[in-house]
Chains A and B, each alone.
Chain A
């Protein structure tokens, strides 16, 4: 149950995408998301979507894992489709009582659902191919200039690293405590809302107690290793851009060009 969460899960590997500079990966993911919303007709959206799909092929991550990254959100996607299908005006295909489905509605809902799917694929590809530690490191480096206006960039990144690091630990802990309470006959699957919330108490209290204890121990361990923050800290592995990052950005620029060309050639779908 809890072990089925894939979003934000790192899948170790040695592909071209895995070895890219994490800073470049973050920038390209952001850029791609922007382009996805610049694209305003179906061919442009498909053109933009080619970028994460090609990257997914190069990452050697299995098709099933990619599909599972957006599967849990299918109801949400479906909801978007239905909403757009009925509320966008234009030339009707089917008209029945109060329901009116138009070509334009179909077009817009296709764009919307593809945007969500591509965005999820792009985002999960980033986390699939980049370890959380590298990811926060890269964020710290990218936000570096903000230090000039006294934003505590290092502290934020450290907090993110620690939080990410402890997600699996906390999940494991929750599972353990749940099992221990179930072994004493705790019933978590039945009853009304109040009973179910009450059933969480035997899980949450031990979880909080151990989380606080763990935080305390971690702080102590960091202090005894003379941690004082980011000031003057150096790195064993310094991030470096390489040729493959250049190629990746070139691919991205090609997809940007394609999207703009499609936008101009076919025109916007959002005129109604």
Chain B
């Protein structure tokens, strides 16, 4: 059963003007329930446009978007309910904070859902725990927090809606390596504990490789690949052609391949690459 189904999705910005721009071109894909999907693509490849279709923020120029098997743009469908099913955390989400306290800000989403006060309270505390926000921070003003804490609060604001699908756009952008790993690990934990579908949009191949099961590669508004991580990295030369950066370790393997060594470039984790190099050592005897 797929969480989100997209068929022949095309989106054109400012049609019929000199600024017309085809952002998505006939994209079709299925996102499985409970999977951790990485989305990569060069700037302007259509990633952001695509994810804004998943929760109905953008209306397709043509094509259909099905959430939970239902066409979200069919007549009589309440488009707001999609926003609660598919939670979208934008790039630099800390700029959306506005309430007097962190608690109230996280409660904004659940409150819009019309939940009871007790339900909201338990969701806010749960979301704060998932994102590692200390309980004493909840009564502070969001504008007093540090950059990393602000981002956690903003992510918690979307998590508190308990969406079936959680989309994170460039979640770790602008964080230091330590904060980056911490927040990504928390997302991974959220994924395994709640069993919800997680979509991670990122520029960083390392992050995608480490956390996702499948990878979606966008290129110039079209879907280039949608496959398991190892299969995508096996087509490394194609990725390089589209201007994407590879994980550093894969690059090493790719260079070895170019030098004529019989190496399998689909390895991407530290352990796999080590095993592959050792295997190579045995084969070539050098």
Contact = CB atoms under 8 A, between A and B. Distances in A.
Contacts of A179: 52, 57, 90
A184 B57 CA distance: 11
Contact of A182 (B83, B87, B97, B157): B83
B112 A183 contact: no
B90 A185 contact: no
B153 to A, nearest CB: 12
Nearest to B84: A185
Interface string A182-222: 11111100000000000001100110011000000000000
Q: Please indicate which of the listed interface residues A11, A179, A201 has the most CB atoms of chain B within 10 Å of its own CB.
A: A179
B18 A185 contact: no
Contact of B109 (A185, A201, A206, A210): A185
A183 B18 contact: no
B143 A209 contact: yes
B42 interface: no
Contacts of A65: 17-18
Contacts of B96: 177, 180-181, 184, 202, 206
B158 interface: yes
Q: Please indicate which of the listed interface residues A64, A179, A183, A201 has the most CB atoms of chain B within 10 Å of its own CB.
A: A183
B98 A202 contact: yes
Contacts of A147: none
A209 B150 CA distance: 14
Contacts of B283: none
A233 interface: no
Nearest to A205: B98
Q: How large is the interface on A (under 10, 10 to 19, 20 to 34, 35 or more residues)?
A: 20 to 34
B41 interface: no
Given A201-B98, A206-B95, A206-B98, A183 B113 contact: no
Interface string B153-169: 00001100100000000
Given A11-B18, A205-B98, A185 B112 contact: yes
A209 B94 CA distance: 11
B30 to A, nearest CB: 22
B140 to A, nearest CB: 16
A205 B57 CA distance: 21
Interface string B13-27: 110111000000000
A3 interface: yes
Contacts of A3: 13-14
Interface in B54-109: 55, 57, 80, 83-84, 87-90, 93, 95-98, 108-109
Contact of A183 (B13, B87, B143): B87
Contact of B18 (A62, A181, A182): A62
A185 B83 contact: yes
Interface residues of B, number: 28
Interface string A45-71: 000000000000000001011000000
A185 B42 CA distance: 29
Interface in A62-82: 62, 64-65
A182 B158 contact: no
A176 interface: yes
Contacts of A173: 95
B112 A187 contact: yes
Contacts of B98: 201-202, 205-206
Nearest to B16: A64
Contacts of A180: 90, 93, 95-96
A184 B112 contact: yes
Nearest to A11: B18
A65 B95 CA distance: 34
A176 B90 contact: yes
B88 A183 contact: yes
A177 B109 CA distance: 14
Contacts of B158: 183-184
Contacts of A186: 108, 112
Contacts of B55: 183
Contacts of B93: 180
Interface in B18-60: 18, 52, 55, 57
A173 B161 CA distance: 24
B127 to A, nearest CB: 12
Contacts of A185: 80, 83-84, 109, 112-113, 161
25 contacts: A3-B13, A64-B16, A64-B17, A65-B18, A173-B95, A177-B95, A179-B52, A180-B95, A181-B108, A182-B83, A183-B55, A183-B83, A183-B90, A183-B158, A184-B83, A184-B108, A184-B109, A184-B157, A184-B158, A184-B161, A185-B84, A185-B113, A205-B98, A209-B143, A210-B95
Interface of A: 3, 11, 62, 64-65, 173, 176-177, 179-187, 201-202, 205-206, 209-210
Interface of B: 13-14, 16-18, 52, 55, 57, 80, 83-84, 87-90, 93, 95-98, 108-109, 112-113, 143, 157-158, 161
The 10 closest A-B CB pairs, nearest first, are A185-B112, A205-B98, A180-B96, A184-B109, A183-B88, A202-B98, A180-B90, A185-B83, A206-B98, A179-B57
